[in-house]
Chains A and B, each alone.
Chain A
Amino acid sequence: MAEAQDVSRDRPSAMVAGLLLCRAADGCLAFRARDVVAVEAWTASDRSPHARVAFGYSPHQGRALVSVDGEVVGVDEVSVFAEPVSVLGTPALLERAMGKSIAGFVFARDRLWPLLRLSEFSRFLVASQEGARF
Chain B
Amino acid sequence: MSEQRQSHLVFACGQSWFAIPADATAEVVSFPELTRVPGAPPHLLGVFAHRGEVIPVVDLAVLVGTQAESTQRAVLLRLARGSLALTANKVAGVSQVQGKLDPLGGSGVRMHLRGPARTARSEVAVIDPEGLFEFLSQGG
**B68, CB-defined interface residue at 8 Å:** no
Chain B residues near A28: list those with CB within 8 A: 35-36
Q: CB distance A54 to B39 under 8 Å?
A: yes
Output the least CB separation between A28 and chain B (Å): 7
Output the least CB separation between B28 and chain A (Å): 15
Instruction: Take A93-B136, A105-B35 as given contacts and tell me if A8 and B54 are in contact as well, using a CB distance cutoff of 8 Å.
Output: no
Instruction: Take A92-B137, A95-B137 as given contacts and tell me if A6 and B35 are in contact as well, using a CB distance cutoff of 8 Å.
Output: no
Q: Which of A7, A54, A114 contacts B52 (CB 8 A)?
A: A7
**B2, CB-defined interface residue at 8 Å:** no
**B49, CB-defined interface residue at 8 Å:** yes
Output the least CB separation between B77 and chain A (Å): 10
With most chain B CB atoms within 10 A of its CB, the pick from A6, A9, A13, A28 is A6
Interface size class of A (residues with CB under 8 A): 35 or more
Chain A residues near B138: list those with CB within 8 A: 96
Q: Which of B30, B37, B52 contacts A94 (CB 8 A)?
A: B37
**A133, CB-defined interface residue at 8 Å:** yes
Q: CB distance B38 to A7 under 8 Å?
A: no
Chain B residues near A107: list those with CB within 8 A: 49
Instruction: Take A97-B139, A98-B37 as given contacts and tell me if A91 and B32 are in contact as well, using a CB distance cutoff of 8 Å.
Output: no
Output the least CB separation between B101 and chain A (Å): 24
A-B contact pairs, 20 of them (CB 8 A): A2-B33, A3-B31, A3-B33, A5-B32, A5-B48, A8-B51, A9-B52, A10-B53, A11-B52, A11-B53, A28-B35, A51-B38, A90-B54, A91-B54, A92-B82, A97-B39, A112-B35, A112-B48, A114-B37, A114-B47
Residues of A within 8 A of B (CB): 2-11, 13, 24, 26-29, 51, 54-55, 88-98, 104-105, 107, 111-114, 116, 121, 124-125, 128, 133
